[in-house]
């Protein structure tokens, strides 16, 4: 059994591992906008890297566990969590998607908890998934999410119920998590929080096995409004003990930040300068979300050069397809237009429906074809940056695509530069490579943003939002 890490005293309030790159920047935004100086590393943070960011109070590491197997997680996630635990923050956070994307085979949140829990000494593991800022609400243990302005129970959500990798067939998170781990799962519901009974309920939960490290409960905490958000943050922080491990969405950061601001742990939010407009951006999208499809359609109607990736040509021909896209995108920039390279327009796109057949025809399985597609988008964007040095702002839609692009950019860290839409901040890239250092980048989950998202990235709409 792994013993709890004994870290040195630390000024950090929280350290987190994001299970994909878009979720990692969502967490970066949640903390930074609340007045918690935060840096997101794209590799394991070394002492030398940390020294470049004096005064930070939270540290993140962007990962790719959401799309990986438990075997991969045991090999790659475990040492990453150990490195973060060694930084000494009282909260060690495995950041999950606010729609709880996971299954026993892919992105297992249960496996992550089993890996992280032995690294801390705390007697319980809180789980906060509801994030009202993002239109995510948990009530009596069931998760609800807003899509295109309409709220849905998660198992009836137009995207998540049809997710190509981890479709959500259960909205009860205790039941969903029970397919991934045998750890004890209990709930503190919103009626108990509103009655001020959260601490008493937690004491009752933990009283059954106070000295049994193998029976530490995973405690789901309802969040559906500002009141329950603040109550959840107060409960987690006041009951952190000698350290807590938590698998939660960025709702946890929102909850903690609300409590920290109320109690003076942090001074509160400050304002960043407005995000300035730029003449043009370059964007790539590997998302099959209906929300991203609407954004691609909006971009096509508002002057963007929308360029579809030919999947059969890519998987069977390789470099010729990426070269074609780079040439077309560079031509668009030369003409003053913003290029947007995309793989599909929504879940009903023939490229999505026929993906497995196209992969098989190229002698690849689904995972191999998906990885090659993400790498192609990364190749296109990196080549475009090299060819057009004046290009200084880019956007990526889709978690897997964001991971592939970020890994290829030769960037060590990101900090928030401005807010655009909730969950998709404008970030500043830190790199030892001059052409990449200072690059402005937005990593967007498929469901984030309104129809005009790409226009906002180009035009700087939303500048001046609260941020540190």
- What is the reported pLDDT for 2? 58
- What is the reported pLDDT for 212? 59
- What is the reported pLDDT for 208? 65
**pLDDT tens-digit profile of 403-459?**
888 889 989 999 999 888 888 889 999 998 888 999 999 999 887 889 999 999 999
Which class would CATH give 14-263? alpha beta
- What is the reported pLDDT for 5? 56
pLDDT less than 70: residues of the chain: 1-9, 208-214, 270-273, 461-468
- What is the reported pLDDT for 109? 97
DSSP string, 175-202: HHHHTT--S-EEEE-HHHHHTT-HHHHH
CATH superfamily, domain 282-459, is Four-carbon acid sugar kinase, nucleotide binding domain (3.40.980.20)
**pLDDT tens-digit profile of 252-307?**
999 999 999 999 999 877 666 677 899 999 999 999 888 899 999 999 999 999 99
Q: How many CB atoms lie within 10 A of CB 413?
A: 23
- Listed by start position, the domains of the chain span 14-263, 282-459
Q: In the chain, what is the straight-line distance between the N-terminal and C-terminal CA atoms, in Å?
A: 40
Strands 38-41 and 185-188, bridge-based pairing: unpaired
The angle that helices 366-387 and 399-408 make with each other, rounded to 10 degrees, is 50
- What is the reported pLDDT for 6? 53
- What is the reported pLDDT for 407? 84
- What is the reported pLDDT for 455? 96
Judge whether 351 and 344 are in contact, CB under 8 Å. yes
Q: How many residues does the chain have?
A: 468
Strands 440-444 and 424-430, bridge-based pairing: antiparallel
- What is the reported pLDDT for 468? 24
- What is the reported pLDDT for 465? 32
Domains 14-263 and 282-459 equal at CATH topology level:
no
């Amino acid at each position: 059994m792994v013993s709890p890490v004994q870290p040195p005293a630390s000024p950090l309030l929280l350290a987190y591992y994001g299970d994909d790159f878009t979720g990692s920047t969502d967490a970066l935004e949640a903390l930074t906008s609340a007045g918690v100086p935060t840096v997101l590393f794209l590799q394991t943070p070394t002492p030398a890297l940390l020294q470049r960011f004096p005064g930070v109070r939270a540290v993140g590491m962007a990962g790719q566990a959401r799309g990986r197997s438990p075997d991969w997680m045991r090999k790659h996630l475990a040492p990453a969590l150990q490195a973060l635990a060694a930084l000494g923050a009282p909260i060690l956070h495995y950041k999950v998607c606010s729609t709880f994307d996971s299954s026993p085979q892919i992105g297992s949140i249960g496996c992550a908890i089993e890996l992280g829990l032995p690294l801390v000494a705390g007697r319980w593991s809180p789980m906060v998934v509801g994030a009202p800022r993002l239109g995510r609400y948990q009530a009596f243990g069931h998760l609800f999410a807003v899509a295109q302005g309409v709220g849905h129970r998660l198992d009836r959500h137009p995207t998540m119920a049809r997710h190509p990798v981890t479709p959500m067939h259960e909205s009860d998170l205790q039941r969903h998590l029970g397919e991934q781990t045998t750890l004890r799962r209990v709930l503190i519901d919103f009626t108990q929080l509103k009655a001020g009974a959260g601490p008493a309920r937690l004491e009752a939960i933990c009283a059954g096995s106070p000295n049994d490290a193998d029976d530490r409960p995973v405690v789901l905490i309802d969040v559906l409004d500002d009141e329950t958000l603040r109550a959840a943050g107060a409960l987690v922080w006041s009951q952190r003990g000698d350290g807590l491990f938590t698998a939660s969405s960025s709702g946890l950061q929102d909850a903690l930040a609300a409590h920290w601001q109320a109690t003076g742990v942090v001074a509160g939010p400050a304002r960043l300068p407005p995000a300035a407009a730029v003449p043009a951006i370059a964007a790539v999208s590997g998302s099959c979300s209906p929300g991203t499809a609407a954004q691609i359609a909006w971009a096509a109607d508002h002057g963007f050069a929308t360029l579809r990736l030919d999947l059969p040509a890519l998987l069977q021909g390789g470099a010729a397809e990426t070269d074609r896209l780079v040439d077309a995108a560079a031509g668009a920039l030369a003409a003053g237009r913003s290029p947007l390279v995309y793989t599909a327009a929504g879940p009903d796109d023939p490229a999505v429906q026929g993906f497995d057949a196209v992969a098989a025809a190229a002698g690849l399985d689904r995972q191999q074809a998906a990885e090659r597609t993400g790498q192609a988008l990364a190749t296109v964007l990196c080549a475009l940056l090299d060819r057009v040095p004046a290009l200084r702002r880019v956007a990526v839609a889709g978690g897997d695509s964001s991971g592939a692009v970020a890994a290829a950019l030769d960037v060590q860290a990101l900090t928030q530069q401005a807010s655009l839409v909730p969950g998709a901040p404008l970030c500043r890239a830190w790199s030892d490579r001059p052409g990449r250092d200072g690059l402005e980048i937005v990593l967007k989950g498929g469901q984030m943003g309104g129809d005009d998202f790409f226009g906002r990235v180009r035009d700087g709409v939303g500048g001046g939002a609260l941020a540190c």
